[in-house]
Structure 1
Amino acid sequence: MPSPRALGMYRQNATDPVEERVRTHAPLVKRLAYHMIAKLPASVEVDDLIQAGLIGLMEAARNFDPAAGAQFETYASQRIRGAMLDELREADWLPRHIRKSMRDIERALVKLEHQLGRAPNEIEMAQAMNLPLAEYQTLLADARGHQLIYYEDFDNDEGQRDALDGLAADFKSDPLNDLDEDAFRRTLVHSIEHLPEREKMVMALYYNEELNLKEIGAVLGVSESRVCQLHSQAIARLRAKLSDWTQNR
């Protein structure tokens, strides 16, 4: 059901068609939010998507024209998804130059892993990118590795589609969508299992135990900045694996 704060935007009036549409279709917002959250980073809170979706539902309820011929649920679904995607765009903080550096790291990871037949270490990665080890680690620290999926891809000159546009397209009515989500989860779990041991531990402590980077550093006996580097490199490895899955599915 809508939150009190969200519903407070409207006066309680049982005969108001706008209020009735919001109340009737509030479960649709939750369903769409949980559908979307399955393909987003753990840092995204489902409650934030639901709150944004409720605003989209309210706008849809207020602007809906029954004479236009469309069903309200169809119209509302589009507005709800749009509001959620707008919320994600606003939350996307990663600067363009850092995102480009991370894509460079991902490409180098893929190339080296194919050459070596195993996950490359940081020294090998730095050499492959013609960087001093300290500079490579600085790139990892700057990225802070919080996003498994980037919300927008600014460098479309490389032929990559906008990640949010792709995400929106994925939520169109498609009987294969649930199968795709299951395959995505299986690929992600498999990729995490094959991370280097220390990076896998960082991911488990961060996402399963919900420790912050400083707390993880205390567990591992390293600095917070070192945990940040390990986390970013783990994210880069996972993104490279998931990119292969997307291209080959």
Structure 2
Amino acid sequence: MPTSRAIGAYQKHATDPVEERVNNFAPLVKKLAYHLVARLPASVEVDDLIQAGLIGLMDAARNFDPTAGVLFETYATQRIRGAMLDELREADWLPRQLRRSMRDIEAALVKLEHKLGRAANESEVADAMNLPLADYQELLADCRGHQLIYYDDHDSEDDSRSALDSMAADHKSDPLNEIDDNAFRQVLIDGIANLPEREKMVMALYYEQELNLKEIGAVLNVSESRVCQLHSQAVARLRVKLRDWTQK
């Protein structure tokens, strides 16, 4: 009869499929968290998303059915992202002040574009909003994560939930995947093509190459915070273009 010590040694070295899945796919949680947090206000901590995602991963590892004909990575990705979105719903992640701030930026961009006949730079937008440049850039950072598509432009008493539900419906949380109308898509493509060069590069690296803000910063040799500012401003410019198109 095997001793308790022998049994313990066997259990220690035996392969636990649940533990193995968690260990192998833990890096996926971090990747998804960093990609999601870039779409959220600066008040959202990436560590909170990672913690929620790990719970989702453990749940996926325990409940995965290898005979279901689905890859574990596909199944786990859905469960991880779902756990993160549940955490965000409970935290009320999208304050109304953020939406008001972004709309103020968009209004300033509209006036300046009509006045100048070109894309306004940050200093010009800051002046139009009667803000020091540093304060305007801080506002851009706070507006991180404002959606490209008009999730929050509908009159709803629960804007945060509608935005999150839209993100959950799209398994990649990628606004570009929400666009089916060819004319709408063309307006967006034209809008991106007309962005200032650095903002255009940020959008390409983020949505096409799926790099996170830290990785984009390394490519552009700027800080993650600076990439966040450029992304928010690019989104504001594109929202102006899309709004003009929808009102025609």
Asked whether 1:125 is paired with 2:104, we answer no
1:149 Cα shift?
Answer: 2.1
Structure 1 residue 103 and structure 2 residue 103: aligned? yes
Aligned residue pairs, count? 145
**SS in structure 1 of the partner of residue 247 of structure 2:** helix
- Give the 3-state SS of the residue equivalent to 2:181 in structure 1: helix
2:183 paired residue number? 183
Letter in 1 for 2:117: G
The alpha-carbon distance between structure 1 residues 97 and 113, as it changes in their structure 2 partners (threshold 3 A), is same
1:199 corresponding residue in structure 2: 199
Distance 2:93 2:230 in 1: 20
Normalised by the length of structure 1, the TM-score is 0.53
Please name the residue that 1:82 is paired with. Answer: none
Which residue of structure 2 aligns with residue 212 of structure 1? 212
Deviation string 1:10-64 (CA, Å, 9 cap, x unpaired) is xxxxxxxxxxxxxxxxxxxxxxxxxxxxxxxxx7xxxxxxxxxxxxxxxxxxxxx
**Partner AA of 2:241 in structure 1:** K
- Match of 1:152, SS? coil
- 1:221 corresponds to: 221
> TM-score of the superposition, structure 2-length normalised?
0.53
Give identity over the alignment, percent: 73
The secondary structure found in structure 1 opposite 2:131 is coil
Structure 1 residues 153, 225: closer, same or farther in 2, change over 3 A?
same
**Paired residue type of 1:217:** G
- Verify the 8 A CA contact 1:187 1:245 in the aligned structure 2: yes
Is 2:105–2:236's contact at 8 Å kept on the other side of the alignment? Answer: yes
Q: C-alpha displacement at 1:95, in angstroms?
A: 1.2
Deviations 1:129-187 (A, max 9, x none): 0000011001100111451024234778xxxxxx98xx9xxxxxxxxxxxx81110010
Q: Distance in 1 between matches of 2:150 and 2:246?
A: 14
**CA offset at residue 113 of structure 1?**
0.5
Q: What is residue 236 of structure 1 aligned with on the other side? A: 236
What's 2:136 paired with?
136
Determine the C-alpha separation between the residues in 2 that align with 1:213 and 1:142: 14
Q: Distance in 2 between matches of 1:90 and 1:154?
A: 18
CA–CA separation in structure 1 for the residues paired with 2:226 and 2:200: 14
Assess if the C-alpha contact under 8 Å between 1:98 and 1:142 holds in 2.
yes
Confirm or deny: 8 A CA contact 1:94 1:143 kept in the other structure.
Answer: no
Q: Is the 8 A contact 1:126 1:133 kept in 2?
A: yes
Partner of 2:151: 151
Q: Distance in 2 between matches of 1:111 and 1:155?
A: 24
Question: Residue 106 of structure 2 contacts residue 236 of structure 2 at CA under 8 Å; is this kept in 1?
Answer: yes
Q: What is the identity, as a one-letter code, of the residue corresponding to 1:214?
A: K
Give the conservation status (yes or no) of the 8 Å contact 1:122–1:133. yes
Q: How far apart, in 2, do the equivalents of 1:103 and 1:202 lie?
A: 21
Aligned AA for 1:229?
Answer: Q
In structure 1, C-alpha distance between the alignment counterparts of 2:213 and 2:232, rounded to whole Å: 12
| Alpha-carbon separation, structure 1, partners of 2:97 and 2:188 | 26
Post-superposition Cα deviations, 1:52-80, rounded to whole Å, max 9, x if no partner, equal xxxxxxxxxxxxxxxxxxxxxxxxxxxxx
CA RMSD after TM alignment: 2.9
